[in-house]
A and B are shown apart, each in its own frame.
Chain A
Amino acid sequence: MEVIIKKNNFKGGVHPPEYKYFTEHKSIENFPLPEKVYLLLQQHIGAPAKPIVKVGDKVRTGELIAEASGFISANIHASISGEVTGFKEFIVPFGAKVQAIEITSDGEDNWVELDKREWQRLSPKEIIELVKEKGIVGMGGATFPTHVKLSPPPEKKIDTLIINGVECEPYLTADHRLMLEEADKIIDGIKILMYVLGVDKAYIGVEANKMDAIEHLIEKTANDPIEVVALEVKYPQGAEKQLIYAITKREVPSGGLPADVGVVVQNVATAKAIYDAVVEDIPLIERITTVTGSIVKNPTNYRIRVGTLISSILDTVGVEYENIAKLIMGGPMMGLTLYTDNFPLLKANNGILVLSKDEVKREEEYPCISCGRCVDVCPMNLLPTMIASSYRKKEIKLAEKLGALDCIECGSCSYICPAKIPLAQQIKLAKKRIITLKKKAKS
Chain B
Amino acid sequence: MGVGKLVVGPGPHIRDRDDVKTIMWWVVISLMPALIASVLFWGIRPLIMTLISVVVAVGSEYLFSKLFNLPIRIDDGSAVITGILLAFNVTPNAPWWIFAVGSFFAIVFGKMVFGGLGYNPVNPALAGRAFLMASWPVIMTADWIPANFLFKGPMGGIDGFTSATPLNVYKYNQLTIDQLKEALMPLFIGNVGGVLGETSAIALLIGAAILFYKKIISWRIPFTYIGTVFILAWIFQKSGAQFTKDFWVEPMFHVLAGGLILGAFFMATDMVTSPITPKGQIIFGVGLGVLTYLIRRLGGYPEGVSYSILLMNLTVPFLNKLTIPRIFGHKDKK
Q: Measuring CB to CB, which residues of chain A are less than 8 angstroms from any residue of chain B?
A: 10-11, 14, 16-17, 93, 170, 241, 245, 251-256, 311, 314, 319, 321-322, 324-328, 332-341, 353, 355, 359-360, 363, 366-372, 375-376, 379-383, 385-386, 401-403, 406, 411, 414-420, 422, 424-425, 428
Contact = CB atoms under 8 A, between A and B. Distances in A.
B330 A370 contact: no
Given A245-B328, A366-B118, 16 more contacts: A11-B328, A93-B8, A253-B330, A311-B3, A324-B6, A334-B12, A341-B2, A359-B14, A363-B19, A381-B325, A381-B328, A383-B320, A385-B276, A415-B16, A418-B23, A425-B10
Contacts of A366: 19-20, 73, 76, 117-118
B115 interface: yes
B48 interface: no
A253 B1 CA distance: 50
Given A314-B3, A337-B9, A369-B117, A418 B18 contact: yes
Given A253-B329, A337-B6, A339-B8, A369 B272 contact: yes
Contact of B14 (A170, A367, A382, A383): A170
B2 to A, nearest CB: 6
Contacts of B23: 369, 371, 418
B6 A326 contact: yes
B162 interface: no
Contact of B3 (A16, A340, A376): A340
13 contacts: A11-B328, A17-B14, A170-B14, A241-B329, A254-B327, A324-B6, A355-B13, A367-B115, A367-B116, A381-B326, A416-B18, A418-B22, A428-B10
Interface residues of B, number: 45
A244 B206 CA distance: 42
A382 B3 contact: no
Interface centre among B2, B12, B14, B324 (most CB of A within 10 A): B12
B14 A324 contact: no
Nearest to A362: B7
A337 B326 CA distance: 33
B39 to A, nearest CB: 30
Contacts of B320: 383, 386
B11 to A, nearest CB: 5
Contacts of B326: 381
A383 B324 contact: yes
A417 B17 CA distance: 10
Given A337-B13, A403-B327, A420 B19 contact: yes
B278 A375 contact: yes
Contacts of A386: 276, 320
Contact of B12 (A93, A332, A428): A332
A13 to B, nearest CB: 12
A241 B328 CA distance: 9
A316 to B, nearest CB: 13
B64 to A, nearest CB: 15
A interface SS class: loop
B277 interface: yes
Given A256-B329, A366-B118, A402-B334, A418 B11 contact: no
Interface of B: 1-4, 6-16, 18-20, 22-23, 73, 76, 115-119, 271-278, 281, 320, 324-330, 334
A180 B4 CA distance: 36
Nearest to B331: A253
A379 B328 contact: yes
Contacts of B271: 369-372
A386 B324 CA distance: 10
A332 B13 contact: yes
Contacts of B9: 337
Contacts of A328: 11, 13
A256 B276 CA distance: 28
B277 A372 contact: yes
3 tightest A-B CB contacts, nearest first: A367-B118, A372-B276, A411-B12
A280 to B, nearest CB: 35
A340 B15 CA distance: 23
A415 B6 contact: no
Contacts of A363: 15, 19
Contacts of A324: 3-4, 6
Contacts of A252: 329
Contacts of B18: 416, 418
B12 A380 contact: no
B274 A370 contact: yes
Contact of A333 (B11, B115, B324): B11
Contacts of A314: 3
B30 to A, nearest CB: 15
B4 A370 contact: no
B4 A322 contact: yes
